[in-house]
Amino acid sequence: MTSVDVVRLGSCHAADLARLLAEHVQERRGGSPPRPDRYWAEKLLADPRIRLFGARLDGNLIGYAVVHELTDCLTGLETGLLEAVFVRPEFRGRGGGRELLAAIADEGRRSAWSRVRWIVEEDGRRSSLPERLAGTEPATLHVVPMVRQ
Maximum pairwise Cα distance, the chain? 50
> Has residue 16 been placed in a domain?
yes
- The number of domains in the chain is 1
pTM of the full predicted structure?
Answer: 0.84
**Interval 93-135: pLDDT, tens:** 999 999 999 999 999 999 999 988 887 766 645 555 655 556 6
**Residue segments in the chain with a per-residue pLDDT below the cut of 70:** 1, 121-142, 148-149
Backbone angles phi and psi of 78, in degrees to 5: -75, 145
In a domain, 147, yes or no: no
Residue 141 lies in a domain: no
Determine the Cα–Cα distance for residues 13 and 61; give it in Å rounded to an integer: 9
Q: Which amino acid is at 120?
A: V
The whole-number pLDDT of residue 18 equals 96
Buried b (16+ CB within 10 A) or exposed e, 12-30: ebbebbbbbbbbbbeeeee
Q: Which of 87, 79, 84, 132 is nearest to 107 (CA)?
A: 79
Residue 143 lies inside a defined structural domain of this protein = no
Residue 47: inside a domain? yes
CATH number, residue 30: 3.40.630.30
146 in a structural domain: no
Is there a domain that residue 96 lies in? yes
Domain that includes residue 93, residue range: 5-133
For residue 139, is it within any domain? no
Task: Give alpha helix (H) positions in the chain.
Answer: 14-29, 38-46, 96-110, 129-133
